[in-house]
Structure formats: structure tokens, C-alpha cells
Amino acid sequence: MKIAAIQMTSGPVLQDNISAAQRLIAQAVHAGAQLVLLPEYWPLMGMRESDKLTLATGCDAHLMADFMAAQAKEHGIYLIGGTIPLASPETDKVYNTTLVFDPAGDVVARYDKIHLFGFTSGTESYQESKSILAGETAVSFSAKDGGNAINVGLSVCYDLRFPELYRSLGTTELLVVPAAFTYTTGSAHWEILLRARAIENQCYVLASGQSGHHINGRHTWGHSMLIDPWGHIVAVLPEGEGVVCGDLEWQMIRDVRRNLPALQHRTIHFPR
């Protein structure tokens, strides 16, 4: 299966971001992608924390999911929708949510980001818990690849620092990480954490990032990439908008797990 990660530099205008996503999804499909991953916050990098709630509860709230469903159906792909803000009925916060659409345009999985980013260094400070409500459940879904079923584990950005989340998913062939890593933390930790998750789980990792200087002042790291089960970087896009594309090769997964059966050697297991 050919899989692709989309890299964006999203801004505060929903329709502009939808147009960019549509163009980049078409580019990925033209390259042969059957599964496409959007980045975290692809519909909105707002000027204020409250912009997430406004989008989730306003008249445009339905546009994000409707757009992704239409794209998945039009192109006949699995579309993993990065994240969008979804309102919580109990609070004035939102969930940072990944919706997964199958080739018929139907939602087949929902994951609410569990780990909320907090970082302070000098004048740089982020506290997602101010506007986001944490999810509680690890989620994976099955994608069809001919006669094979790919178990795809879902995660978002800061989740990458918590390997126990990925262990709790059981055996996966693909882990996805839509993200908006800051330039500061991304330049230090992004690649090494992604490669570690691929190596320890002996699976492919597909990571889709925000990149560059955003209108709201944020600076994100980019470097969307595909990593194979041996930890090699198959493809990477350091900066700017674009698409990272490569093949998920079943034989590569089988060879790594046969030659180094680390998953069989585990003595501590997480319940599902």
C-alpha cells in the first residue's frame, strides 16, 4: 500500500486551509497514495486559543468533517483527518480529534488526543489544557490492503513522548502521528522519537506536520516523514507545504519481525 503524509502551514482562515488540503490530497492521490494523513490543526491555526471553540461550535463546524468525507469518497482512499476541534457538551473546551474516513466516506474511527502539550521556555509558552479536553481511550482501526488488513494505531503530536500509548495498541503495522511540533522541541526530539517508535514496535510510522512561520506567530518544525520498521527514514519533507509518500511493504514488516522477534520476547503486556 502506498501511503502519504501531508505537510501544511495552516493559518486562521478555514476556507484557505480547506483549499490547501484539497490541493495536497489530490497531489498525494496522483502519486498513488491509498491512505493519506493530514497534520494536526490542519483546518485552523488560530490567533487566539478561543478560536478552536468558535470553530467547533459555530456555523462552519460541520464543514471540516464534510470536506474530509467527500475527499475520501471522491478519491477512494483512507483519509486520516489530522485533528479538528470538536465541542464537548459538558465544558467550554474542545477535544482535539482525529476522524478516520474509509474509501466510502464513512467515519470508521475517532481518537481524542490523550496527552496535552505543556511547554515553557523563555517567552515561548504553550498550555493546551487551557482550551482542550483530554481524551481517555487509545484507538486503532483496520485498513484493507488487498487481501491484508493493516492495523493502524492513532496518536497525535505530544502523544509521541509516551511509548506506553503505542504498546497499549497491541501489534500494529502502521502508527500515524499528525503533529504541530514547535520548532524548538521538533529540532531536538522529533526525528529520534519517531524512529524509536518505529524500531520498538517494528512497524511503519507516518508523521504529518505543520511547517514554518504561521500568521499567529507560531513556528513549527515540519519534517513530515515515513519511517520503516528498521528505523530507516524512507522519505522526508523538511520544510514548506507538500507531500511525503512511500510504500508500506508487508515483506519488510515480516522480515524484521522474523529476524529480530522482539515483539514475541515481551514479558510485560498492556490489556486492551
The DSSP symbol for 269 reads -
Count of structural domains within the chain: 1
**33-47 pLDDT per residue, tens:** 999 999 999 999 999
Pairing between β-strand 148-154 and β-strand 174-179 as defined by DSSP bridges = parallel
Distance CA 266, CA 68 (A): 38
Pairing between β-strand 242-247 and β-strand 2-7 as defined by DSSP bridges = antiparallel
**Is 53 part of any domain?**
yes
**Is 195 part of any domain?**
yes
The confidence score (pLDDT) of residue 50 equals 86
**Is 272 part of any domain?**
no
**Is 271 part of any domain?**
no
**Is 87 part of any domain?**
yes
Enumerate helices (H) and strands (E) in the chain, giving the number of each.
7, 17
Q: Name residues whose C-beta falls within 8 Å of residue 259's C-beta, 6 or more positions apart in sequence.
A: none
**128-143 pLDDT per residue, tens:** 999 999 999 999 999 9
CATH of the domain at 149: 3.60.110.10
**218-272 pLDDT per residue, tens:** 999 999 999 999 999 999 999 999 999 999 999 999 999 999 999 999 988 876 6
Residues taking part in catalysis = 40, 113, 157
**Is 257 part of any domain?**
yes
The confidence score (pLDDT) of residue 179 equals 98
At position 228, the amino acid (one-letter code) is D
Domain that holds residue 11: 2-265
**Is 270 part of any domain?**
no
